[in-house]
Each structure stands twice: as C-alpha cells, then as structure tokens.
C-alpha cells in the first residue's frame, strides 16, 4: 500500500502546518487532519496533544480504527504496533 516513508516535515507540509481547515475529526486522543502529499497521496493523520502519546492508548485506538476499516470494506491500515514504534523513532 505504501511504497515510501513519510517524514514529519512532509506531513507538516501536507497538513499545511496542521491548519484548522484540515481538521477531519476530534477524538479523545487528538485531532485528525487531512494530509495531501506532493505525490498525490491523501491520508488522515492524528496529532496527539503534547505529552499524550501513551502506547497502550495508542494501540487501543488504532485497533478500534483497524476493526472499523475491516468492517467497512476499506483497505486495512498497517499494523498499529509497527506504527507506534515508527513514531517513537522520530521523536
């Protein structure tokens, strides 16, 4: 599904520096933004509040979303555990 790594700098640019106009939803774990990348890829990106990145909460929310995707027939997102590990590497 994803052939290239997405950098934080690209994500900031793709969300127009997390502009309010790009907010798709508000969840208990942060805002979800629409990100339009230079290569045409469009993703939803969650921005956690400062200090709110807790691995257990992240896994729970990601698993709920993965279940939601699978029941809707949408393509399955990548493994939430792998995503969390990638996020921590970029801190």
> Which domains are delineated in the chain?
8-86 (3.30.200)
State residue 85's pLDDT score: 46
CA distance 30 to 50: 10
Residue-level pLDDT at 82: 45
Work out the number of other CB atoms within 10 angstroms of the CB of residue 15: 22
pTM equals: 0.57
| Of the candidates 5, 8, 11, the residue with the CA atom closest to the CA atom of residue 82 | 5
Q: What is the pLDDT of residues 14-38, one digit of tens each?
A: 999 999 999 999 988 789 999 999 9
Q: Comparing C-alpha atoms, which of 36, 30, 90, 13 is closest to residue 65?
A: 30
Residue 40: C-alpha distances to residues 36, 52, 63, 73 (Å): 7, 30, 27, 23
Backbone φ, ψ for residue 54 (5° rounding): -110, 125
pLDDT tens-digit map of 2-18:
677 889 899 999 999 99
Q: Give the pLDDT confidence score for residue 19 in this predicted structure.
A: 95
């Amino acid at each position: 599904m994803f052939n290239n790594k997405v950098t934080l700098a690209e994500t900031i640019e793709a969300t127009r520096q997390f502009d309010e106009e790009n907010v798709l939803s508000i969840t208990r774990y942060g805002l979800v933004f629409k990100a339009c990348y230079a290569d045409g890829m469009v993703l939803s990106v969650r921005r956690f509040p400062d200090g709110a990145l807790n691995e257990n909460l992240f896994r729970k929310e990601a698993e709920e979303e993965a279940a939601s995707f699978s029941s809707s027939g949408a393509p399955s997102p990548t493994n939430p555990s792998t995503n969390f590990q990638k996020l921590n590497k970029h801190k």
